[in-house]
Amino acid sequence: MTSAAPLVDQFQRRITYLRLSVTDRCDLRCSYCMPERMTFLPRKDVLSLEELHELSLGFIARGIRKIRLTGGEPLVRRDMMELVQALGRKIGDGLDELTLTTNATRLAEFADGLAAAGVKRVNVSLDTLDREGFAALARRDSLPQVLEGLQAAREAGLVVKLNTVALKGINEAEIPDIIAWAHGQGFEITLIEVMPLGEVEEDRFDHYLPLLAVREDLEKRWTLQPSEHRTGGPARYFDIAETGGRLGLITPLTQNFCEGCNRIRVTATGQLYACLGGNEQVDLRAALRSDAPDRALQDALDTAMRIKPERHHFAIEEPGAAPALSRHMSMTGG
């Protein structure tokens, strides 16, 4: 794959970060993410390991420097580690970093292999440390496996960042304890506002918790100092003097962060979404399976840069409102 022009959208934002979903399947059923009886994609519709690799090489040739493997839960895909190993060989050869987001239920099994393949950091989704609360929220009693996975990640030398969705009436009171625990373990933690993606059984309005209110509550307890730390992502960071750790806040609803967006997302079926909060998409699977895949992929990526919107328009303003988008987060990739 020969190098080509870097990916720059119509707002002159250079795109260097790819979130690549390897599956829409997950072994949890978090209530804010998907319904209990979720209908997953037929396996024949999902990109093969070879297609995922070829697609990644195409992106690297266009200036993608960081790839995050997502799902669903990426570690439930059987050939996942083969892709990790193949992409790990590109680190230092066009790719600066390879990471993944996981719920950590299977991280104990794969932590050493991930580290050996060149993965340095993982993001772990964890919304509560209460076992009963976890079982109710995730609809699976898997907190012991998650904690085992976190321990294995630390022992393997992986840097861990926890992602916690702030949920009114569910984990709201526990947020300070989760932060203190994370920092005591040597983990960073980022709080995220619930996103209105896909139909679920519950009304997200009932559990929407603005992080501005969370921050005000935390500042009554601790000293939060704005941090100069930047990752190129949407989080704004604070150093907490009393815990000695770093806290990130991702606020897609109360404080838009799109002006610095450097990322695109590709689903497990090869649909490129130019924005998490938009329907603008390009079919990369069709390009890969065409008679001239290299040229078709380049043309598709050029189209994606032309249609990437300036910003998303998420809102949760009234009870019973339809989600901003019909597709679930597990389909797009976290």
pLDDT tens, residue by residue, 78-96:
999 999 999 999 999 999 9
User: Helix-strand-coil percent breakdown of the chain, rounded to 5?
Assistant: 35, 20, 45
Residue 306: phi, psi to the nearest 5? -75, -30
Residues near 132 by beta carbon (within 8 Å), at least 6 away in sequence? none
Model pLDDT for residues 205-243, shown as the tens digit of each residue = 567 888 999 999 999 999 999 998 877 667 899 999 999
Q: With contact defined as beta carbons under 8 Å apart, do 72 and 25 qualify? A: yes
Measured distance CA(34)–CA(200) in Å, rounded: 6
Task: Report the binding-site residues for GTP.
Answer: 19, 68, 101, 161, 263-265
**Helix ranges restricted to H, 222-328:** 284-288, 293-307
Q: What pLDDT, on a 0 to 100 scale, did the predictor assign at position 312?
A: 52
Lowest mean pLDDT among 28-42, 57-71, 77-91, 273-287: 28-42
**Higher-pLDDT residue of 3, 301:** 301
Model pLDDT for residues 107-136, shown as the tens digit of each residue = 999 999 999 999 999 999 999 999 999 999
SS3 (DSSP) at 244: coil
pTM for the model stands at: 0.86
Q: What pLDDT, on a 0 to 100 scale, did the predictor assign at position 234?
A: 78
Measured distance CA(211)–CA(265) in Å, rounded: 24
Task: Report the binding-site residues for S-adenosyl-L-methionine.
Answer: 32, 72, 125, 195
Residues near 78 by beta carbon (within 8 Å), at least 6 away in sequence? none
Strands 121-125 and 97-102: parallel
- Exposed/middle/buried for residue 186 (C-beta within 10 Å: 0-12, 13-18, 19+): exposed
Model pLDDT for residues 263-274, shown as the tens digit of each residue = 899 999 999 998
First to last CA, the chain: 27
Enumerate the β-bridge partners of residue 272.
266, 282
Q: With contact defined as beta carbons under 8 Å apart, do 60 and 87 qualify? A: no
Model pLDDT for residues 130-177, shown as the tens digit of each residue = 999 999 999 999 999 999 999 999 999 999 999 999 998 899 999 999
Measured distance CA(37)–CA(19) in Å, rounded: 26
Q: In the β-sheet with 188-193, what is the strand arrangement from edge to edge?
A: 224-226, 236-240, 245-250, 188-193, 159-166, 121-125, 97-102, 66-70, 17-21, 263-266, 271-273, 281-283
The label of the residue with tokens 């890969």 reads: 288
Instruction: Give the number of other Cβ atoms within 10 Å of residue 41's Cβ.
Output: 16
- Exposed/middle/buried for residue 253 (C-beta within 10 Å: 0-12, 13-18, 19+): buried
Task: Report the binding-site residues.
Answer: 19, 26, 30, 32-33, 68, 72, 101, 125, 161, 195, 258, 261, 263-265, 275
Measured distance CA(169)–CA(32) in Å, rounded: 13
Measured distance CA(313)–CA(294) in Å, rounded: 34
Closest by alpha carbon to 141, among 131, 127, 130? 131
Measured distance CA(191)–CA(176) in Å, rounded: 11
Measured distance CA(202)–CA(181) in Å, rounded: 29
Measured distance CA(84)–CA(63) in Å, rounded: 19
Taken in order of first residue, the domains within the chain and their CATH numbers are 17-332 (3.20.20.70)
Average pLDDT, the chain: 87
Q: What is the DSSP string of 84-124?
A: HHHHHTTBTTTBSEEEEEE-STTHHHHHHHHHHTT--EEEE
Task: Report the binding-site residues for [4Fe-4S] cluster.
Answer: 26, 30, 33, 258, 261, 275
Query: Tokens for 121?
Result: 């950091």
Measured distance CA(272)–CA(262) in Å, rounded: 14
